[in-house]
Amino acid sequence: MVDGQVHENARAVVLFCIVGVIGASIDFGTMHFLETSGANALIGREISYILGSLFAYYANRFVIFSGNRSTTEKLMAFIVYTACLIMTVLVNKLARIPLADFEHTVFLSWVISQATATTLNFILQSKWVFASENTSR
């Protein structure tokens, strides 16, 4: 039983990482495309984050996680994603200021904003959205 659970957990982690990489690729690719097409950097970052997050949410929901989510849990997750979106856009904008003279400003600011949003998302999801589940483990 334990070996089967370890195998299942390892499978879930691998799938979660694959989904994350694809979601991040959608995010960065969209942002890069929009900016090179002349879109405003803030709007490009908003759209790219939303598209990458939507992909990751639905892919994780159907590929890895199952079960029905309560309306309260969905609302809490929406609030978390909204907070992460706001944080992502602000950090991306602020990171471009000191990075303006670097060759890869767009990529570096994306990495910094993505890392910030991922960290915030993890903290809020684990400490708030799924807090009652975590206390029983």
Q: What is the pLDDT of residues 45-92, one digit of tens each?
A: 999 999 999 999 888 878 877 667 789 888 998 999 999 999 999 999
pTM check: above 0.95: no
The 3-class SS string of 49-106 reads HHHHHHHHHHHHHHHCCCCCCCHHHHHHHHHHHHHHHHHHHHHHHHHHCCCCCCCCHH
* Cβ proximity of 110 and 28 under 8 Å: yes
* Cβ proximity of 57 and 63 under 8 Å: no
Counting every residue, how long is the chain? 137
Label residue 136 by pLDDT band (50, 70, 90).
Answer: very low
Residue 69 vs residue 111, higher pLDDT = 111
Instruction: Read off the DSSP letter of residue 133.
Output: H
Q: What are the backbone angles phi and psi of residue 124, rounded to the nearest 5°?
A: -65, -40
* Residue 134 confidence (pLDDT) above 70: no
* Residue 9 to residue 131: CA distance in whole angstroms: 20
* Cβ proximity of 126 and 134 under 8 Å: yes
Per-residue model confidence (pLDDT) at position 137: 42
CB atoms under 10 Å from CB of 22, counted, come to 14
Mean pLDDT of all residues in the chain? 88
* Residue 18 confidence (pLDDT) above 90: yes
* Residue 125 to residue 3: CA distance in whole angstroms: 28
The proportion of the chain whose per-residue pLDDT surpasses 70, expressed as a percent, equals: 92
The proportion of the chain whose per-residue pLDDT surpasses 90, expressed as a percent, equals: 58
